[in-house]
Chains A and B, each alone.
Chain A
Amino acid sequence: AQTVTQSQPEMSVQEAETVTLSCTYDTSESDYYLFWYKQPPSRQMILVIRQEAYKQQNATENRFSVNFQKAAKSFSLKISDSQLGDAAMYFCAYRNTGANSKLTFGKGITLSVRP
């Protein structure tokens, strides 16, 4: 079974600075997908960024980018120019391929942003 590990329960960043959230995963598959979700205090789950495992190029979405290291099974999220609205819980998730594919989530990390 696949597992997703987020070892840091909390992190803090100064507004306008850069922060990196770590995620590792374990799988025997060669083709899969990785996601980062944001959960603000409203509880709504919001997709931040996603990566296809067969693509070597790291995904970017505005201030959000990932460092995908397939051999190391690492998928970290970098947030540049941090804003107060970035304060939330962030979940790393893995999805296998196929008709019955399912998302497996890490335990999450709480990010606070200091003004």
Chain B
Amino acid sequence: NAGVTQTPKFQVLKTGQSMTLQCAQDMNHNSMYWYRQDPGMGLRLIYYSASEGTTDKGEVPNGYNVSRLNKREFSLRLESAAPSQTSVYFCASKPSGSSYNEQFFGPGTRLTVL
């Protein structure tokens, strides 16, 4: 099992450009999440999907859109990138059932917006 995979690992954008961060998991998990990590801020939830076909806003959704393409894939789109979106982005997944279940994280994408 590859676990949670993210592409790309690194990306540099210019202000106003758009891009999609891809995430896939092969663990048959129902729930998937997108976080951003900024220095001194911990991980903050952008969007999540409790199950295929549903998405909900997290703590910092502005400037982002998501698509739960199928059970495996959950993408994050920046329509018009801004320097404030420079961050490390993590995708995660969790099996359904108890909230005690471990949440698994991808390796992260480092995004720089110039």
Closest to B102 in A: A47
Q: Are A91 and B58 in contact (CB under 8 A)?
A: no
Which stretch, B21-29, B39-47, B63-71, B75-83, touches the partner chain A? B39-47
Q: Given contacts A91-B43, A105-B43, is CB(A33)–CB(B100) below 8 Å?
A: yes
- Measured CA separation A9–B41 after assembly (Å): 11
Q: Are A99 and B42 in contact (CB under 8 A)?
A: no
Which B residues are in CB contact (< 8 Å) with A42?
107
| Number of residues of chain A lying within 8 A (CB) of chain B | 27
| Chain A 74-113 near chain B by CB (<8 Å), digits 1 or 0 | 0000000000000000010001111111111111100000
| Chain B 88-106 near chain A by CB (<8 Å), digits 1 or 0 | 1010100000011011010
Give which listed residue, B41, B42, B45, B107, contacts A102 with CB less than 8 A: B45
Q: Are A97 and B99 in contact (CB under 8 A)?
A: yes
- Measured CA separation A32–B48 after assembly (Å): 19
Q: Given contacts A95-B99, A107-B41, is CB(A100)–CB(B50) below 8 Å?
A: yes
- Measured CA separation A47–B58 after assembly (Å): 21
Q: Are A43 and B88 in contact (CB under 8 A)?
A: yes
Most-contacted residue by chain B among A32, A42, A108 (CB, 10 A): A108
- Measured CA separation A100–B45 after assembly (Å): 13
Nearest CB of chain A from residue B64's CB, rounded to whole Å? 16
Closest to B56 in A: A100
Q: Given contacts A44-B105, A45-B90, A107-B42, is CB(A102)–CB(B100) below 8 Å?
A: no
Q: Are B100 and A52 in contact (CB under 8 A)?
A: yes
Q: Are A103 and B45 in contact (CB under 8 A)?
A: yes
Q: Are B42 and A108 in contact (CB under 8 A)?
A: yes
Nearest CB of chain B from residue A50's CB, rounded to whole Å? 7
Q: Are A102 and B105 in contact (CB under 8 A)?
A: no
